Amino acid sequence: MPAQNLSQARAGISPVNTTIAQGWENSEFIGGYFFPRVPTGARAGKIITFDKSSFMQYTNMARSPGARTPRVEFGYAGSDYALQDFSIEGKLPKEIQEEQLDPAKGFTIDGATMAINGAMDIIGLRLEIQQAALATNLANYDPSNRITLSGANQFSDFSGTSNPVKIVKDAKEVIRQQTGKRPTALGMGAQVFEVLTQHPVIVDRIKYTGRDTATPELLASLFGIPNVYVGDAIQASDAGVFSDVWGKDMVLAYTPIASLAQRGLPSYGYTYNLNGYPMSEPAYYENNQKSWCFPVSSCEAPAIASKAAGYLIKNAVA
């Protein structure tokens, strides 16, 4: 990419830097697979919720000449959503800038990318934590779409009682019975994945594949789900205690990737995203710290659109 000079950095919202921010992606984050972004032009509105309208049969579909035609609406305005604004600044110290100067006497785009991506890591982790909290909250599911494992039923018990393949199969069928769709995604905490790679049932199923250990791709084939994702992201408390963002849970969901205009599907969830965000605001020089600062902002809110399209396996491992 071409270098960005100082005058360009000061001039309004940087198209180049905003492109970097919007194209940013952290491979450790999986929340976007369950809550894909959909653009919206307003900071508040109604969550488009899905019911069973598309699965109903109407007795008066057979019409006689001049008779009224039955009409059905897909999706309805449910509870309110309100987007939240978040901002943080990435910093590029002058000392690093000086090492990256090009003949045009501006800092290289690599320096800006480093600062912007660092800031986006923090904003992205915030969203990942919020998405995981929604997906792993028992209160967000009907009783038929959730199960809490304990004791010998947890996958970490290798005594012969626990059976992850059956649990996942049963969960898939619940989603299919309620939506007519099979789940497209299965997400799990990193600890759950590590246990599954050693579980006797899993090991026995893959012994004929020539692989020594289960991978997400093998688990996808074994469970009959197109995509299996492992949430490797961690978070730290104010006291410096680290924990897995996705905990010890598993989430199944039907989540077709569709635009806002194509939402006539019983999709599990969305992340409502204000048009143009995330974006990079004008870079500025901080004299006291002798650094260039790169503010980045996001405006978003994840929401569950169809509880019937998801299933939560709580405390999959001890």
State the average pLDDT over residues 288-314.
92
Which residue did the predictor score with more confidence, 267 or 316?
316
State the average pLDDT over residues 78-97.
84
Which residue did the predictor score with more confidence, 195 or 258?
195
- Alpha-helical regions (H) of 188-247: 190-196, 200-206, 216-223
246 contacts 7 by C-beta, under 8 angstroms? no
Angle between helices 15-23 and 109-135 (to 10 degrees): 40
74 contacts 53 by C-beta, under 8 angstroms? yes
182 contacts 175 by C-beta, under 8 angstroms? yes
User: What's the mean per-residue pLDDT of the chain?
Assistant: 83
Task: Take residue 296 and report the two structure tokens written for it.
Answer: 């980045």
d(C-alpha 200, C-alpha 162), whole Å: 10
4 contacts 14 by C-beta, under 8 angstroms? yes
Q: Residue 208's pLDDT is what?
A: 82
State the average pLDDT over residues 215-238.
94
What is the set of domains in the chain, with CATH numbers?
Answer: 6-51+77-314 (3.90.1690.10)
d(C-alpha 144, C-alpha 297), whole Å: 39
The model's confidence at residue 6, banded by pLDDT at 50, 70 and 90, is very low
In a 10 Å sphere around its CB, with 0-12 CB exposed, 13-18 middle and 19+ buried, how is residue 298 labelled? Answer: buried
Exposure on the CB side of residue 212, measured as CA atoms within 13 A? 0
202 contacts 219 by C-beta, under 8 angstroms? yes
The pTM of the full predicted model, rounded to 2 decimals, is 0.81
